[in-house]
Amino acid sequence: MRFYIPPQLLRLGLAFVIFVTLFLFIRHSLVPESFGQYGFYRGEALGEIAGLPVRFAGQKACLECHQDIDELKQQDVHSDISCETCHGPGQIHSENGDTTLLEKPVDRESCGICHSKNKARQKDVVFQVDLKEHNVQKRCIECHYPHQPWSMKE
């Protein structure tokens, strides 16, 4: 008896082959070359990330020139908060003194990032004030020096 493949199966097989070929082709053209070089990710990504410019200098770098500020800071409640938490990335400033990119968080909301009253916060870990009630007529830094919040300026 002759081996017989019904035409609907042939068509199905053909569709299957076309589908798989198309899939392999598309996959080949979309997957980046270095994918899988080290693991389930693009091998080149490592070099690209390592090549990004450094933005944060780290507090140690700041102290080379601003030791005086750190001495104030060490004596008070903000001692554990590093400079760049408030002033933003300071690598460029540390290298060439350029102050334009530094942040100076002088408005009430900036202090509020950590201190505004919020039920979800543990109030005995970071003390909270209601920004709408606590001395609303002034900015925080007019009374609390940011590097030494309890050396009041009043």
Q: Identify which of residues 46 and 126 has a Cβ nearer to ligand HEC in the complex.
A: 126
Q: Which of residues 79-98 bind ligand HEC (CB under 6 A)?
A: 81, 83-87, 90, 93-94, 97
- Evaluate whether 104 touches 87 at the Cβ level (below 8 Å): yes
Torsion 112-116-122-127 (CA) sign: positive
CA 131/CA 118 separation, integer angstroms: 11
Question: Interface with ligand HEC by CB under 6 A: which range of 20-28, 36-44, 47-55, 75-83?
Answer: 75-83
Q: Which of residues 133-152 bind ligand HEC (CB under 6 A)?
A: 134-135, 138, 140-144, 146-147, 149
CA 28/CA 142 separation, integer angstroms: 62
Neighbour-count burial of 140, counting CB atoms closer than 10 A to its CB (0-12 exposed, 13-18 middle, 19+ buried): buried
Q: How far is the CB of 26 from ligand HEC (least distance, A)?
A: 47
Neighbour-count burial of 66, counting CB atoms closer than 10 A to its CB (0-12 exposed, 13-18 middle, 19+ buried): middle
Contact pattern for ligand HEC over residues 45 through 74, marking x by CB under 6 A? ------------x-x-xx-xxx--xx--x-
Q: CB-based contacts of 73: which residues, under 8 Å, 6+ apart?
A: 79, 81, 147, 148
Q: How far is the CB of 133 from ligand HEC (least distance, A)?
A: 10
Residues in touch with ligand HEC (CB under 6 A): 57, 59, 61-62, 64-66, 69-70, 73, 77-78, 81, 83-87, 90, 93-94, 97, 99, 102, 104-106, 108, 110-115, 126-127, 129, 131, 134-135, 138, 140-144, 146-147, 149, 154
